A and B are shown apart, each in its own frame.
Chain A
Amino acid sequence: MLEPCDSLVLADGVALGEGRVVDAVAEASWPVNASGSFVLERTGCRLESVVAELAAAFALPLETAREDVLAFAWQLNRLGLVNVRRGSRRLRAAVVWVRLAVRLAPSGTIPSFTARRRRIDTTTPLRAFASVVRGAAGRGTALALGTFAAGAHLSLVTGRPSLLVPAAVGVSVGAGVVVHEGGHAAALVGIPGALVIRGHRIYVLHAPTESRRRRVVAAAGPALTALIGLVVLTVLPPLGLPALGLAGAPAAVHACALTVLAGDGRTACGL
């Protein structure tokens, strides 16, 4: 969801060239017309002021300029070329989003999420992994807390109250997502990459690479997560921690992504 007080910022690795937006990470470029360049030259300005300037410069009705700017901003954000800098506090933006979601509920739709793209430092596997951890930590924590709350509730309902197992499973679910993307990033050494988070989707964007490397990058994420899950499941129960050993199961489930049922698996198979 975009608000008039928000502003656009070009994502790391994206630049405005001669009539083109150039993405150095994806090694792709898109043509932009005069009004598109006009908007992109005003990154960092509030959208409402960009709309007003565009309407004045191109002699457009204000409503038409607003529709054009918002559609253009959405398109660029969907492609991961620009990030949205919030003009309001995060809590206020969340409240506005929830209000809109409630209004749209009868039609069965929810307001769109904006995408956020962050650069991944791929100079070494460790740095690449750390970049993803920094970028996805918030998402992983939210996922872990949600899983913990659901698990604790379930343990109460089933008459076996426990905080330890839901906490361990929550950590496994949240950390699993972060490690999965971190695994992709660690295999990307030397290749420009970026982490993109959009709604519930989180993925690593990278420059085109030769077929074998692409397969390795695709397999690395789920393989690393599943391996960690397997180790947790195998090592902790004999150490007298069977309940914590259960936490390996959600991480092991990432192995599903090695099959053709998932995009990673199809790429890893060379499809």
Chain B
Amino acid sequence: MLTSALLFLHTFSDRYEFNPLLGDVSTVFFPRIVLVALFVLAAVLTVRGTVRSPDDGEEASGTLDVARLSAVFGAICLSAVILWLAGLVLGGPLVVALTAWTLGYRNPYVLAAVAVILSLLLWAVLGEVAGVSVPRGAIWNWL
């Protein structure tokens, strides 16, 4: 609700000032409609949330493992950085190992094998055969 309100206010900044040379309808005409609708519906949802308990099909079933969730979230963030810096061939096995470890997998031999084979397979199939761009590692450009 707050985000839609702020974005709506942003549409009144000078850069979006209506210019008849650029068409008959302002460039933020439609975004304003969307943001107003979003604001109103978010407000309705908030009001509904205060007068009744939330039961609209939340997916959380049972208890959430917050510690594991935080660890996996950290691993995912770190994975993005590792892949960007080290590339797929070197960073890929680290990403798989890191995420699997935080998810509770504890067989180091299987993990190492899967991590290395998967990374090399992806590099070969996507990068070399299919010609798809794979992370090469920014660190190698700097060195």
Q: Do A and B come from one complex?
A: no
